[in-house]
């Protein structure tokens, strides 16, 4: 078993450390969606709001990022401002963490890095917008987000609005099945579509309350394995979703532009999200923010039930 997270390179904020020690509810929040998924300067407002929503539900927020080579589990004063405002902030997947730490780099953590670090710190519930997954055109590019493989071996509950709709959603669902990641719809029988209420694809399981989610987490622990994530797919409400026809039209243009400009690797997701926001006159941004807000609140409710159950 690795040592507890308590070294100069891995810093828990006093609030997060105290909550974990006392078995109080904690929710991990990722920073790539703030730094690379949402436009400045609104992103800082959203980052603060997510923390407020988590607190309002009775849990402690732990936004995770790497600043000057130090992993922060829970950002303190000034940290959120850097994540939201710093132009050259890197995007760090799990594999990038050791290099960032050793070279003193700063970066926002993706779902893969955030889920790993949260689980390592003893945080069981995590909120994001939409997971990464299998990109369209994967047969040529082999581009599949590292989020999927990491979730297949990390015991964490991730509340998300499904996977990003810029992806090949059926292929991503297939990979989640292959990788043994448990997927449940939250009060829905169709898999959410990130900006859209529904991807049109079915989910096998539907849960109806935070308590029920906590019960599944307990059952995972009672089973003792495989140690994989639980994905709680929470759809953006129909009245907050992006107009599906507008979504499809703007996405088709963005995908063609990405191909023409030969955007590859880590740049693909931020590029497409930015094109969606721009091409929809900000409507995609509003749907994205509505999704992450709802996910942060639900994650906190789940964390509260989990802590009550002696999680």
Give ∠ CA 115-43-278 in degrees, rounded to 5: 110
Contact 156, 118 (CB under 8 A): yes
* 30 is an active site residue: yes
State yes or no: 143 annotated in a binding site: yes
Contact 188, 206 (CB under 8 A): yes
Residue 143 in the binding site for Mn ion (CB under 5 A): yes
Minimum Å gap between C-beta 288 and ligand PSU is 5
State yes or no: 198 annotated in a binding site: no
Residue 241 in the binding site for ligand PSU (CB under 6 A): no
Name the residue nearer to ligand PSU (CB basis): 163 or 307.
163
Scan for tokens 């436009």, then name that residue. 39
DSSP label of 93: -
Residue 43 in the binding site for ligand PSU (CB under 6 A): no
CA distance 32 to 9: 20
Cα–Cα nearest to 138, from 13, 268, 236: 268
State yes or no: 146 annotated in a binding site: yes
Minimum Å gap between C-beta 230 and ligand PSU is 17
Mapping DSSP to helix (H, G, I), strand (E, B) and coil, where does residue 11 land? strand
Q: Which of 25, 37, 210, 279 binds ligand PSU (CB under 6 A)?
A: 37
State yes or no: 42 annotated in a binding site: no
Annotated catalytic residue within 51, 57, 144, 164: 164
Binding-site partner at residue 301 among ligand PSU, Mn ion, none, CB < 5 to 8 Å by type = none
Neighbours of 78 (CB within 10 A): 9
State yes or no: 96 annotated in a binding site: no
* 232: Cα within 13 Å, side-chain hemisphere: 34
Minimum Å gap between C-beta 112 and ligand PSU is 6
Cα–Cα nearest to 163, from 101, 211, 232: 232
Residues at the interface with ligand PSU (CB under 6 A): 30, 32-33, 36-37, 110-111, 128-130, 132, 145-147, 266, 269, 273, 288, 292
> Which residues are known binding-site members for Mn(2+)?
143
Q: Report the interface residues with Mn ion, using CB under 5 A.
A: 143
Binding-site positions: 91, 111, 143, 145-147
């Amino acid at each position: 078993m690795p040592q507890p997270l308590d070294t100069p390179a891995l810093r828990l904020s006093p609030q997060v450390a105290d909550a974990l020690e006392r078995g109080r509810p904690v929710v991990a929040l990722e920073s790539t969606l703030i730094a690379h998924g949402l436009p400045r300067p609104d992103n800082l407002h959203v980052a603060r709001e997510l923390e407020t929503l988590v607190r309002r539900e009775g849990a402690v927020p732990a936004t995770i990022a790497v600043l000057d080579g130090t992993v922060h589990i829970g950002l303190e004063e000034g940290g959120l401002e850097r994540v939201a405002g710093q132009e050259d902030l890197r995007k760090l997947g799990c594999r990038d963490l050791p290099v960032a730490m050793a070279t003193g780099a700063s970066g926002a953590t993706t779902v893969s890095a955030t889920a790993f670090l949260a689980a390592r710190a003893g945080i069981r519930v995590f909120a994001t917008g939409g997971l990464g997954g299998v990109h369209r055109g994967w047969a040529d590019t082999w581009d599949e987000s590292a989020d999927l493989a990491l979730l297949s071996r990390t015991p964490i509950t991730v509340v998300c609005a499904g996977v990003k709709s810029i992806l090949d959603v059926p292929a991503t669902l297939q990979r989640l099945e292959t990788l043994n990641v448990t997927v449940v719809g939250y009060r829905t029988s169709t898999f959410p579509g990130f900006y859209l209420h529904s991807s049109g694809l079915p989910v096998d399981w539907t849960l109806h309350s935070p308590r029920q989610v906590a019960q599944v987490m307990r059952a995972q622990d009672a089973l003792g394995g495989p140690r994989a994530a639980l994905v709680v797919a929470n759809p953006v409400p129909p009245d907050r979703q992006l107009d599906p026809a507008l979504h499809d039209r703007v996405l088709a243009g963005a995908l063609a532009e990405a191909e023409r400009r030969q955007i590859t690797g880590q740049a693909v997701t931020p590029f497409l999200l930015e094109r969606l926001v721009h091409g929809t006159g900000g409507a995609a941004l509003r749907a994205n923010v509505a999704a992450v807000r709802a996910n942060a609140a639900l994650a906190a409710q789940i964390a509260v039930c989990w802590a009550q159950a002696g999680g």
